[in-house]
């Protein structure tokens, strides 16, 4: 029901939220030796989700390791600038998707009330 109600936006919000978790993990581990930063290829994850994959399976399929611009000696591949940009881009995407859903809810509410 919810799938057809919100269309692509429901799936997109899920992927955005999971990507946010992954990017937070990267930022949290900025000083951990040997930590390999990961990211989700948003399009792959969204396509998998829309083709019926579960939300965990969809993101697992789209997970990639980040290639560092300047590898550091301790094997950590987190670059704060890159992660910050990815995180804020994702946050904007999340907010946008949220506003699409919001307007959908408003449309439906208006239809139900018959105003």
Partner 1 sequence: MTMANPMTIFDVAGRAMSAQLVRMNSSASNLANAGSIAGDANAVYKPIKPVFRTELDRSTGMMSVSVDRVVRSDAQAIRRHDPDHPLADENGDVWAAPVDETQEMVEMMESARQYQNVIEVLQTTKTLMLDTMRLGK
Task: Using CB under 8 A, list all residues that contact partner 1.
Answer: 20-35, 56, 59-60, 80, 84, 87-88, 91, 94-95, 98, 101-102, 105, 109
Closest separation between CB of residue 75 and partner 1, Å? 12
- Of the candidates 95, 103, 104, 110, the residue with the CA atom closest to the CA atom of residue 2: 104
Closest separation between CB of residue 60 and partner 1, Å? 8
Closest separation between CB of residue 30 and partner 1, Å? 5
């Amino acid at each position: 029901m919810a799938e057809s109600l919100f269309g692509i936006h429901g799936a997109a919000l899920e992927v955005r939220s999971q990507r946010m978790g992954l990017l937070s993990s990267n930022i949290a581990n900025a000083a951990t030796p040997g930590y390999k930063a990961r990211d989700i290829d948003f399009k792959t994850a969204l396509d998998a989700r829309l083709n019926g994959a579960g939300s965990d399976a969809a993101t697992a399929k789209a997970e990639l390791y980040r290639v560092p611009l300047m590898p550091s000696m301790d094997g950590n591949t987190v670059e704060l600038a890159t992660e910050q940009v990815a995180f804020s881009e994702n946050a904007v995407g999340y907010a946008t998707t949220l506003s699409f859903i919001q307007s959908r809810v408003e449309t439906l509410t208006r239809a139900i009330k018959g105003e």
